[in-house]
Structure formats: C-alpha cells, structure tokens
Amino acid sequence: MSTTSLAAGLPVPDQSARLRDALLAADFTADGLLELLGAPAYSALARSETVPALRATRGASPLETLVRLFLLQRPVAPERAREALPLDVALADGWVAESADGIRATVDIRPYGGPEGQDWYIVSDLGCAVGGAGGASGRDEGVVLGVGGASTTLAGITVRTPVSSALDLGTGSGIQALHATQHATRVTATDLNPRALAFTRLTLALSGAPEADLREGSLFAPVGSETFDLIVSNPPFVISPGARLTYRDGGMGGDDLCRSLVQQAGDRLNEGGFAQFLANWQHVEGEEWQERVRSWVPRGCDAWIVQREVQDVTQYAELWLRDSGDHRTAPDAYAARYAEWLDEFEARGTRAVGFGWITLRKTDSDRPSVVVEEWPHPVEQPLGEAVRAHFARQDYLRTHDDAALLADHFVLVDEVVQEQVGMPGAEDPEHVVLRQSRGMRRATKVDTVGAGFAGVCDGTLSAGRILDAIAQLVGEDPVLLRDRTPEAIRLLVQEGFLEPAAPRG
C-alpha cells in the first residue's frame, strides 16, 4: 500500500532515521523522561495532568523542548526547535508545522521502552497518547490512540517465542506490530481505519524497526485464508449502542465482535500457534458467563480465558460515556445517551460486562484443554512466558494418567513460599497456603499432606515414593493416600506450583 494512500495529511517516514537520531541525542526516551520530570510529574502525565510536566520543562534544553512539543503539545520558538531537531526535515516531512505562535507538533510522539531496553516511539493523534496532553474524549471517529493500559497489557501477556509469521489484527498505532517485529520473521498488520495503518508505519520507522505488511480491512478479511504462528488483537471490543467511534466500537451487537474474532482465529493458526486477545463479554441473566465464553473456543484449540474485571451496566456505560466526552455535553443530551446504553443492555438481558484475556493455542487434540477462570488479583508482567508454560502444563497433564503422575518426579517452582495461618500460640495451623510471588501470583490452600509433599519435591524422589514416606510418618494407609492424592498433584501442576523435573541423567 503506498505512502500517499495511507498518510494523507500525516507525516511521511522517509527521513525518520534523522529524526530518531535527534530524539535519541536529546535523551527523549522513557528513561530520559523519568529523569527529567521526576516520578510525580511522570505519573501525573499518565493521568493526563500536564501542569507538573510544564513546570519541569521551563528550561531551554533540547529534551525540555521535545517534551513540550510532542508530549505536551505546546508551541515552541523556532530557534529552540532547531536546537532540538533537524527542523527543515521535520517541517518538510510533516512531523511539525509552523504556526503564528511558533512550531507545533502535528502528531503525538511518546517514548516507549522495549522489553530488552530498546528505545521505541509510538506515534498517534495529538493528545491521544497516555502521558500526552489529553485523552480521546470528544475526538472524531477516525482517531488513532497511542499507548494505553490495554495495549501494554496485551503486549505483556503475548508469548514471545521466535515465529515465522505474526498478525496484528486491528493494529491502531502499531504497538503490537512493533513488539512482533522483534521475534517474527514476517509481520502483517491490519486495520479498518487507513489512518491507523499510516500511524503504524510511522511508529515502526521512528522506532528503527523492520517494516510490516500493512493491509486495510475488517477482522480477518485482509488476510483471506493465510495462516500465522501468532495472532494478537486489541480489538474495538466496547459493547455499545451503535458504532460511533472506530477505535473502540466494533459495529456488531453485544459481544458478537469478540465472539467472531475468537471463533474465526482457529482456522488462521498454524499448528502450535497462539492467538491472544483482549475482550469484553456480556453477563446475561440466566446464563453462566463461563459457559458463554467457553462456547466461543474453536475446535482444535486449547484455550485459557481469564476474567480480570467485571462492571455492572451503569459503571460500564459511565466509563465509556466519559471516554467519548459525552459527560461534557448538555445534561439532557447526556441523560439521553446514558439511557440509550441502558436500553441496549436491558434488551439483551445484560446485567454486567466482563473484561479479560483470551489465549488460544492450535493443537488439533481430541481432548482440548479449556480453562476459564476469574482472577482479579495483581499479577507481575510480562506474563508471556507464564502463558506459554500454562499450555505446556496442559500438554503434560493430558498425557499423564494417575499412574504416570505418581511415577514422575517434580520440583517446587522457584518463588513459591508457604504460609501457615492460625491463632497465635496454636500447636497446629488452621490451614497452609502456598503462594507464588511471581507471574500470576496465585495462592492455594493445601492440607498437611499437600504441604509436606510440595516441600519435599526437589526432583530426587518420585511422587509415589514421597507419598509412601508421608503415609508412614502420619500413620496412614499408603494405598489410600496414593488413591486420593493425584487430583491434588494435578491442581498444583496446573496452577504452576509444581513442574515436572527434567529427565534424570
């Protein structure tokens, strides 16, 4: 697709390397911003509060100039711009423009730290980068957003093993495509909005990343029957009455867009490939939400679905009415728009909306593993390796019956601690909790046998021999203990507290 067709009215990336060199020379990076602004002002920017950052950039250094120009969207004097930038290039290529009050940015440029310390830049519409001068409220439907909590969440949970092909569906400003260029030989990025593809091209160019294959269209239409090793998507999943805003409203009723995306992904995955999405789903009267999303999983795929948050319909409507700036309209207009949302939910029997992660892996197994759970607790990003390990554990459990489980050797995963809960001074604890301090940070209650078993697992003895020794210590029949314990071992393996030991020798 040509630069002209993609980038009408936007900068061209032809000389982006010179602009990138200037940004790096001025230390206009994620680390440089934190050092210049300090933690309070830096955090305030994430809340779209610019006053602390304005106070911190009253000097004349190139870095202060660039922060005011591209993050705070304030005009700067031409002489200051020339000290910070190759100004002639930036003007000619459209990154900045001359105005009556000085040089102004035409796009938002946000420094973004890559997973291995790369200095990247996310390019988006003015005022639409988190840490920029404002939010998306009141913007027109074609607006292209920058970095946000959803996009960084998806980047963090994505499995980062090397692959031949990756697809970023609904690329927006190109954050997921940028990450994918680091471990995929070929990256394809699609979007219904042609401006989004133009911004993706700018993001990749200014970050010094390889180009992607950019294609315009909805859902999987731009890629036809092509298949990929990795598919990622932060789709326009908001459940709303109508489709006013391309960046958030999918144009389908209810949660049909997310359902369609998940159901169609199976046919676009290569064997062993992953598809990872952020999604919303309805909680409907008379229906378990777990069964609703479980029904979306395509045949031939394992799935791990995690609900991270639930909002009742009033909270959900208010959140997205603020996002679109409707709360700033006349009271009667706001009330009418609010009523439209509630009417939509009432017609669908929707009482709440869930938000979370959906990961598919193509296996073609006749015994697919589909795990649907609610986990609203804090986690430690990045989680890509934890996601990969989850599916590896499902493979292991699927191929090991109870006898094989008892014959195998296990080790307690690093960073798991044991907590004993009970009254002070009591001889025995009321219960024992195993807790992970990394990854999903799960906690699970175990009995005395479970705690003893986990504590002894260092790969030396088989599970069966450990249970025999425990039975002797507690005076229990070892046959009965072997019969009732495999289910508990499976749970500890499934949730990542135990892992099979490496083959001995």
* pLDDT at 381 exceeding the cut of 80: yes
* pLDDT at 337 exceeding the cut of 90: yes
For residue 200, the model assigns a pLDDT of: 98
At 181, list the tokens: 């260029």
Check: CB of residue 201 under 8 Å from CB of residue 5: no
* pLDDT at 460 exceeding the cut of 90: yes
For residue 3, the model assigns a pLDDT of: 40
For residue 134, the model assigns a pLDDT of: 46
- For tokens 């409507």, name the residue: 317
Left if phi > 0, otherwise alpha if psi is -120 to 50, otherwise beta: which for 329? beta
Q: How confident is the model at residue 246 (pLDDT cuts 50, 70, 90)?
A: low
Query: How confident is the model over 169-173, as a mean pLDDT?
Result: 96
At 216, list the tokens: 């315009």
Which carries the bigger pLDDT value, residue 420 or residue 5? 420
User: What single-letter amino acid sits at 117?
Assistant: G
Residue 8 buriedness (CB in 10 A; 0-12 / 13-18 / 19+):
exposed
For residue 133, the model assigns a pLDDT of: 44
- Sequence-separated (6 or more) residues with CB below 8 Å from residue 416: 434, 435, 436, 437, 454, 497
DSSP string spanning 40-96? Answer: HHHHHHHTT--HHHHHHT-S--HHHHHIIIIIS---B-HHHHHHHS-HHHHHHTTSE
Which carries the bigger pLDDT value, residue 348 or residue 45? 348
The continuous run of DSSP H or E covering 198 comes out as helix 194-206
Query: How confident is the model over 284-304, as a mean pLDDT?
Result: 97
For residue 1, the model assigns a pLDDT of: 47
Mean pLDDT estimate for the chain? 92
Q: What is the dihedral of CA 180, 182, 188, 192, to 10 degrees?
A: 50
Q: How confident is the model at residue 430 (pLDDT cuts 50, 70, 90)?
A: confident
* pLDDT at 427 exceeding the cut of 80: no
Which carries the bigger pLDDT value, residue 297 or residue 135? 297
For residue 111, the model assigns a pLDDT of: 96
Q: How confident is the model at residue 207 (pLDDT cuts 50, 70, 90)?
A: very high
For residue 129, the model assigns a pLDDT of: 58
Angle 454-459-463 from CA coordinates, rounded to 5°: 60
Note the pLDDT tens digit of each residue in 1-23.
444 445 568 999 999 999 999 99
Check: CB of residue 123 under 8 Å from CB of residue 172: no
For residue 7, the model assigns a pLDDT of: 58
* pLDDT at 137 exceeding the cut of 60: no
Question: Which region among 52-66, 208-222, 322-336, 414-428 has the lowest average model confidence (pLDDT)?
Answer: 414-428
* pLDDT at 135 exceeding the cut of 70: no
Question: Which region among 422-431, 453-462, 489-498 has the lowest average model confidence (pLDDT)?
Answer: 422-431
* Partner residues linked to 213 by β-bridges: 188
Residue 427 buriedness (CB in 10 A; 0-12 / 13-18 / 19+):
exposed
Per DSSP bridges, beta strands 119-124 and 108-113 are antiparallel
Note the pLDDT tens digit of each residue in 282-293.
999 999 999 999
Query: How confident is the model over 122-132, as a mean pLDDT?
Result: 74
For residue 130, the model assigns a pLDDT of: 47
Query: How confident is the model over 42-62, as a mean pLDDT?
Result: 92
Query: How confident is the model over 127-144, as a mean pLDDT?
Result: 58
- Sequence-separated (6 or more) residues with CB below 8 Å from residue 221: none
* pLDDT at 448 exceeding the cut of 80: yes
DSSP annotation of 502 reads P
CA atoms within 13 A of residue 289's CA, in its CB half-sphere: 23
Instruction: Please give the C-alpha separations between residue 458 and each of 62, 240, 341, 412, 498, in angstroms, as whole numbers.
Output: 56, 52, 55, 6, 10
Query: How confident is the model over 33-43, as a mean pLDDT?
Result: 95
